[in-house]
Amino acid sequence: MSRRSPLTALRLDSGPVPRLESLVAEMRKGTTLRVRVYGREVPALVGVMTRVKDWEILKTHHWYRIPVRSAPEGLDKVQWLAFYQTRVFGREKWSVNYYARVQGMATVPRIELLPDEPNHRRARALYYRVALGELTPLPRPIPSQRWRRIAFIPTSLERLLRAEEVNDLYRISPIEERLYFLLREAGLEPERQFYVRESGAGHLLDMAVLCADGNLDVECDGELYHSGRERAAADRERDNSLTEAGWRILRFSGHEITADPERCVHRIRRTVRRMGGPGPGPRPRQGSAAATRHGPVSNIQ
C-alpha cells in the first residue's frame, strides 16, 4: 500500500475468518485459552479512541479514520479493527473493549470527513476512511496494566479473543514472542513495544522491564535487521542515549533465543534482581512519552 496514493479505494484481503464463533463461545464460557497463537492468523489492528465525538461517529456511521502519513504497514490486509479507549470513557477507560469487521477503505481529506471542523490544522490532510461492520464487545476487556504510550497495535483476531492484557496483543517477531512469554512465565512483567524519549530522540524498545532501582531494556536482534554498519551505528547511538539516561540494556540474538532461551531468561532475571526486582521503575521525567499511557495520545487527530 502506497502512502502517496491518490483518492482511491484500497483492495482488502477478505479471507475467511476461522473458528470465530467457537473462539467467542469458549471465551464467554470462561474457558482459559493460551494467548500464544501458531499457524495462520487473521490480521487485526488496535487504534486509540480519545474523543467521545469520534466514538459516536463509529457507533452511528460505522467508520474510523487513520492518517495516511502515519498509517501502519499492512493496513490493506487488516480484517478487524479494535479500539483502545482513554480516560474520557469512564468505566471502559484504559482498555480495549470493542472490535468490528473491516468492510472497505478509501482515501479522503479530513475536511470531508469532519466538515464541522474546517479550521483544524490537518483539515486538508488525507485520511483512510475505514468502513466497519457492527461494533461488538470483546468477550472480556483487555486492560493496559501500566503507564505507556499506545498508538497502533498490530495484532490478530485470535489474539484479540485470547489476550489478558494489552501486552499480549502485539504481533511482532517470533523470537520476541518466544522470549516475552518465557519472561512472563518466569514471573517478570515485560512491557512490549515500550516508547521512551531520551536526549531529544524517541525510541521504541522491544521489551522494557521496570525495576525498583531502574529500568531494563531487553532487545531481540534478528540477524537480518541488525546486520550492516549503518544498523550497528544506529543501535550503538540508541544504546548510548538510553544508558546516559539511566537505562540498562541486554541484547540477545535470534540464535541465542532459539538455541538456549533458558540462559537468556536467567541473565534477565539476574539483572532484574540486581536492580531491586520488578517494580514501578523511576518516575518518568516531566513530558516524557513514557508517561502518557492514559494521557492525550491519539493516532487519528
153 bridge partner residues? 46
The lowest-confidence range among 54-63, 141-150, 244-253 is 141-150
Residue 133 and residue 115: Cα distance in Å, rounded? 23
Q: What is the mean pLDDT of the chain?
A: 82
Q: What cell does 75 get? A: 493496513
Most confident of 10-19, 29-38, 179-188: 179-188
CA distance 187 to 13: 39
Q: Which backbone phi and psi does 137 adopt, to 5 degrees?
A: -65, 140
Highest mean pLDDT among 104-108, 149-153, 212-216, 294-298: 104-108
CATH fold for domain 20-169: ph1033 like fold (3.10.590)
Contacts of 140 (CB under 8 A, 6+ apart): 27
Phi, psi at 62, each rounded to 5°: 60, 50
Length of the chain: 301
Query: Where along the chain do its domains lie?
Result: 20-169, 174-291
Can you give the pLDDT at residue 286? 33
Please report the pLDDT score of residue 232 as a whole number.
78
Answer for the pair 35, 162: CB distance below 8 angstroms, yes or no: yes
Residue 295 pLDDT > 50: no
More confident residue, 121 or 12: 121
Provide the greatest CA pair distance for the chain.
58
Q: How far is CA 183 from CA 33, 199, 236, 279, in A?
A: 19, 29, 25, 15
pLDDT of 8 > 80? The answer is no
> 133-174, pLDDT tens digit by residue?
999 999 999 998 776 677 899 999 999 999 999 999 998 888
* 33 closest CA partner among 185, 158, 180, 175: 158
- Evaluate whether 270 touches 238 at the Cβ level (below 8 Å): no
Residue 228, Ramachandran bin (φ over 0: left; ψ between -120 and 50: alpha; else beta): left
Confidence of residue 22 (pLDDT cuts 50, 70, 90): low
Residues 6+ apart with CB under 8 A from 292: 147, 148, 149
Tens-digit pLDDT profile for residues 66-82: 999 999 999 999 999 99
pLDDT at 228: 56
Confidence (pLDDT) at 289 = 36
Count the Cβ atoms, other than its own, within 10 Å of residue 53: 11
In the predicted model, is pLDDT for residue 251 greater than 80?
yes
Residue 299 has pLDDT above 90, yes or no: no
Q: Which residue has the higher pLDDT, 172 or 260?
A: 260
* pLDDT for the residue numbered 276: 92
What pLDDT does 11 receive? 37
Predicted local confidence at residue 198, as pLDDT: 73
Report pLDDT digits (tens) over 188-239. Answer: 989 988 888 876 778 889 999 999 999 999 999 876 544 556 777 888 888 9
The cell for 200 is: 531529544
CB-based contact 161:168 (threshold 8 Å): no
Q: Which CATH number fits domain 174-291: 3.20.20.80, 3.40.960.10, 3.30.300.30, 3.90.120.10?
A: 3.40.960.10
pLDDT value for 39:
61
